Every structure is written in C-alpha cells, then in structure tokens.
C-alpha cells in the first residue's frame, strides 16, 4: 500500500508539471522559453494527420522505430493536439514513476540497503519527463537492468532490445550482461540473447524498411548529418570558425565528418580501455557500473548532448553509489544550460540573431564547460568505483 501511495504521489506531481507546461504552450514566456517547448508536440502535426499516417512511409519521423510506432498509436487514440499532449504526458509520467521504483530496487539489490525515492527526483526528472520520449527509453534501460540483476536474462534482453529501437542507449545494459556471460563462459545464454535481439529487431523494422527504405533510414541519415548541438563541446570548432572566418565560412563544411569519426572513435576507445583493463586486472563484471560507464562515455563523447540526456545518466549515477551532492551539482548545472539552450533557440531562430550575438553567449558556454567538467569528475569517480570495489551483480 505504501508503494502504491508513493507511486500515485510521484505520478501526480509529474503530471502536474505536464499541466504547467500546457499553460506555457498556450502562453509562451520569453524569459522561460524552455517551458514552452517539447519535441513531442513538434512532431504532433506529423502524427495527428488524418487518416493516421503509417510511420516512416507517410510521416517524417527522425527517431528509431519504437518511437514511430508509439507516437502513431497515441495519435490514433487522440482526438486532437490537446489529447495528444496529455495522453503522452500521462504515459510518460507513468513510465518515469515506474523507473524511479526500478532504480530504487536495483540500488537495494546492489548495496543491500534502502534508498529514498526522493533522491531520484532531481531537476532532470521534472524538466524532461515530458519533453521527448526519453522517459520511455529510460524505463526500458532500468527494466532490463533490473531483469539482469534478478537473473532473467532473456526477458531483460527483450526489454533492452525494445529500448535500443527507442533511443539506442538502453542497449548498453545488454552489452554489460553479454560481457558478464562471456566471462562466466555461458555460450548458450549469449547465443540465445543475440537471437532474441536480432529476431525482435527484424520484427519491429522489416515492415517499415520495406515500405519506405528512405523514410525508415531518416534516423540514421539525420544522426550522421546533423552538426553538434549548441551545448556540446564539439560546437567549439564551429564557434572558432565563426569568430575567425565569419558565419558563412566554407571551412565548417569539413567539420561534420571529422567530428563524426572522432566522437565515435573516442566512445569505442573508452569502452575498449575500460573492459580490457578489467580483464587484465581480473575485476569481475558489475552490471550496474559497467552499464553506467558505457552510457556515461556515450554521452560525454557524443557530438550531440541534449539536456534531456541527463535523464539517462542521473539514475545510473545514483544506483552506482556516486557522491549524491556531486550528482545534484551536475544536474543543476544542466538545468541552467537548459534555460540557456532555449533562450538561444528563441534569440537565433525566432529573433534572427547569430550565435556570437546571443546576449548570454559567454555565460552560457561557461555553464556548458562546468557541466562537462563535473561529468568528467563523475566519470572518474565511476572508474574508481568500478576498479576499487567488487560488487558482483551479475545475473547468472
């Protein structure tokens, strides 16, 4: 009964935030522009067309297939944008609340003690439960991780695969599990898990890939071609070029491919160094820490660091036992960056200013740098934890 009441309270508070955001959608604030924005509602016009469009074939969706199916399904249930807004809000609040309970239970299994649910209610939960579909992907990540630490390998694989085709990053829980199975010499579990991953992936994608290959591949093309977002450290070369050669400089045309290769190489290199050193030092696998390290490295080195990515990181950092105050500092810095990002969008895309004439330019990037520095400190703490203590949460 206590868990049910706590769940309803958390769900109710999160849904109240959705209602507040609806007010700011109707009456945008020039000073708090982030409250008037949601990727979900930017895609509403695609999903809500009548008759309900087939995703990727009749609607433009720059997300993996689960998001396309999910958005279309909720659009089918919705009468108009109002219903689409609140139906998405209710569902995402539900999954976000469930994720908090999953994170608490994973922490209890890992450390053998309780943790307050309140610790998971950090700024990112309030800001980004209803922004994109990340809350759904976080649910898949934590649900799969919970299954793995409980020994339910195949069910965890299924959930992790759903997460992969939602937002990519939940697959790192499966990668951590496969590493554990490899070290424990469990080939049957590895092979069958890979079969589940491939079979479910084909089942989800085959229809849309054949109906409209170009529409289905938009996510991959969009991800490869998009430049770094404004609060990514990979934006620095573009800003330097703007300053030295002007905003229209052709030199920037060469940056995209180089940054793609460099960011991908750094992610892969960090994974290789981490797992090879664990192998050399005979550090046993730890599902929570290994997953947290991979997701953290993926975000740190990726060319895109949208503020809602903190929704991925915070629960993993907490259940890894990292310093809670440092986690809060990191998340509050991200909240400040979020404000700056959307003020930038307003100033540049609505009022027509350039990046360098953005009035909060220096202050904004100071907080971007600070956020990344704290993330690096947390990554170092995670590394030390992984190599300094042996909490074996392997499932088999």
Q: Above 90 in pLDDT, residue 224?
A: no
At 78-89, the pLDDT tens digits run 978 899 999 999
Angle between helices 310-319 and 287-301 (to 10 degrees): 150
The confidence score (pLDDT) of residue 249 equals: 63
At 280-328, the pLDDT tens digits run 999 999 999 999 999 999 999 998 888 999 999 999 999 999 999 999 9
The confidence score (pLDDT) of residue 243 equals: 65
Residue 296 tokens read as 């953290």
Q: Above 50 in pLDDT, residue 395?
A: no
Would you give the distance in Å from CA 291 to the centre of its chain? Answer: 13
Cis bond before residue 324 (omega within 30° of 0): no
The model's confidence at residue 391, banded by pLDDT at 50, 70 and 90, is very low
Q: Above 70 in pLDDT, residue 357?
A: no
Q: Above 90 in pLDDT, residue 172?
A: yes
Q: Above 90 in pLDDT, residue 277?
A: yes
Q: Give the Cα separation of 378 and 256 in Å (integer).
A: 28
When pLDDT is averaged across residues 40-68 and rounded to a whole number, the result is: 84
* Mean of all residue pLDDT scores within the chain: 88
Angle, CA 168 vertex, CA 77 and CA 87 arms, to 5°: 20
Tell me the C-alpha to C-alpha distance, in Å, between residue 310 and each of 44, 151, 193, 208: 24, 28, 28, 30
Which of 300, 295, 309 is CA-nearest to residue 173?
Answer: 295
The confidence score (pLDDT) of residue 36 equals: 78
Q: Give the Cα separation of 75 and 81 in Å (integer).
A: 9
Residues 141, 179 contacting (CB under 8 angstroms) = no
């Amino acid at each position: 009964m206590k868990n049910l009441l706590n769940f309803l309270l958390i769900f109710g508070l999160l849904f109240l935030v959705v209602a507040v955001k609806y007010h700011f959608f109707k009456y945008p604030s020039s000073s708090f522009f982030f409250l008037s924005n949601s990727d979900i509602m930017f895609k509403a016009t695609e999903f809500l067309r009548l008759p309900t469009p087939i995703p990727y074939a009749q609607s433009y969706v720059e997300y993996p297939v689960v998001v396309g199916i999910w958005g279309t399904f909720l659009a089918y249930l919705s009468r108009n944008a109002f219903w689409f807004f609140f139906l998405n809000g209710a569902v995402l609040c539900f999954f976000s609340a469930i994720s908090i309970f999953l994170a608490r239970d994973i922490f209890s299994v890992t450390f053998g003690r309780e943790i307050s649910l309140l610790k998971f209610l950090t700024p990112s939960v309030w800001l980004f439960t209803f922004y994109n579909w990340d809350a759904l992907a976080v649910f898949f990540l934590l649900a799969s991780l919970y299954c793995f630490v409980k020994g339910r390998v195949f069910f965890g694989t299924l959930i992790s695969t759903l997460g992969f085709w939602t937002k990519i990053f939940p697959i790192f829980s499966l990668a951590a599990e496969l590493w554990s199975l490899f070290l424990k010499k469990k080939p049957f579990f590895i092979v069958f898990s890979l079969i589940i991953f491939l079979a479910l992936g084909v089942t989800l994608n085959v229809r849309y890939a054949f109906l409209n290959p170009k529409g289905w591949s938009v996510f991959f093309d969009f991800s490869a071609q998009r430049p770094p977002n404004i609060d990514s450290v990979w934006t620095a070369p573009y800003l330097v070029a703007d300053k030295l050669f002007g905003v229209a400089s052709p030199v920037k045309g060469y940056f995209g491919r180089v940054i793609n290769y460099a960011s991908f190489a750094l992610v892969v290199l960090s994974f290789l160094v981490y797992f090879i050193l664990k192998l050399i030092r005979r550090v046993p696998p730890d599902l929570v820490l290994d997953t947290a390290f991979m997701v953290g490295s993926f975000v740190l080195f990726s060319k895109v660091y949208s503020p809602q990515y903190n929704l991925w990181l915070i629960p993993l950092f907490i259940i890894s036992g990292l310093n809670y105050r440092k986690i809060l500092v990191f998340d509050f810095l991200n909240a400040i960056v979020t404000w700056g990002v959307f003020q930038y969008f307003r100033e540049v895309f609505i009022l027509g200013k350039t990046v360098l004439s953005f009035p909060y330019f220096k202050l904004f990037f100071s907080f971007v740098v600070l956020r990344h520095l704290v993330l690096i400190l947390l990554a170092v703490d995670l590394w030390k934890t992984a190599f300094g203590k042996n909490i074996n949460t392997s499932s088999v």
